[in-house]
Amino acid sequence: MLFVRIALGLVLAYVALVVLAWLFQERLAFPAPRALVPDPRRVGVANGEKIELVMNDGTRLVGWYLRAVEGGEGRGKAVEDGIPRTSPHRPSPPSPALLWFYGNGENIATIWPILREFQPPEAALLVADYPGYGGSDGRASEAGMYAAADAAYAALAARPEVDPRRIFVYGRSLGSAAATYTATRHPVAGLILESPFTNAAEMARDAYRILPRFILRLSLDNLGRMKQVRCPVLLFHGTDDQLVPVRMGMQVAAAAAGPVEVVLIQASGHNETYEAGGESYRRKVAQFVR
């Protein structure tokens, strides 16, 4: 009798776990850390401005837009008059631009120094907090992230100083799903992926082995979308990544329909790639976004 009670208790506990996982899986996938978006000028990013975007459903998003700076001068630094220098003799031609999608657990308030350092010379950069993240309104979800990606792309392409034919997309970790989504729905000149996973099903299989597959409602299907991506792809992955195994990055690279360059960051885990990649990483990004 005691054995039956124990067995029944374990079954009920497992059922409760499955129900909770089904109900709260988006909260697990999208932790949505909150933080006020800093004013770029106040933190020394002279070519930046704080922007607001509005999704189709009316959700307000907050972001940063970093203007391209001719010759790379003044980028991320305060200049004498507070305005990045441009040529006084002729208007600058439309510049390339980089649309940035950050990873899980990040927001603009935590990664702005990386945005400053990784902005390619003579290219603009736009990043927006996902719904429910940072300073943006709304609820964090897969559909919300994609809708935010559409709004961010439209805002960037509408900038008169940006060449819409040279919009590049960058996505790290969770943001790789937003990046591949954007690359299959909008014209992009190139796609940069950092630590991309294959899809939600494989990530769940690795992280939550005891849970049944049928409860998964998330897709986040990088692997499927890469079969539609024909633009050039630059892919970074840390060789010691324990969260998103490097084999997943290689599968994503192999699925691309267009040309792919893979850069392995040696001895780097999931969250050390920027530091471990260093100047070489930044140079690769700058050479790609032209």
Half-sphere exposure of 187 (CA within 13 A, CB side): 5
Which pair of structure tokens corresponds to residue 187? 């014209």
Distance CA 237, CA 248 (A): 9
Tell me the pTM: 0.88
Residue 265 is inside which H or E element, if any? strand 260-265
Enter the CATH code of domain 2-288: 3.40.50.1820
pLDDT of residue 86: 44
Tokens of 61: 């998003």
How do the domains of the chain map onto residue ranges?
2-288
Name the percent of the chain in helix, strand, coil, to the closest 5: 40, 20, 40
Return the pLDDT at 268.
Answer: 98
> Tokens at residue 280, please?
């070489």
Query: How far is it, in rounded angstroms, from Cα 166 to Cα 150?
Result: 17
Paired tokens of 219:
């897709």
The rounded distance, in Å, linking the Cα atoms of 174 and 100 is 12
Q: Report the alpha-carbon angle 243-253-275, nearest 5.
A: 50
Q: What is the per-residue pLDDT for 253?
A: 98
Q: What is the pLDDT of residue 95?
A: 97
For the chain of 290 residues, list the mean pLDDT of each consecutive stretch of 10. Answer: 62 47 63 96 97 98 95 48 44 91 96 97 97 97 98 98 98 98 98 97 71 72 97 98 97 97 98 96 97
List Cα–Cα distances, 273 to 193, 213, 241, 264, in angstroms. 12, 31, 9, 10
**pLDDT score for 83:** 42
Residue 30 corresponds to which tokens in the numbers above?
């999208």
Alpha helices for 60-158 (secondary structure H): 108-118, 142-157
Residue 92 has a pLDDT of 75
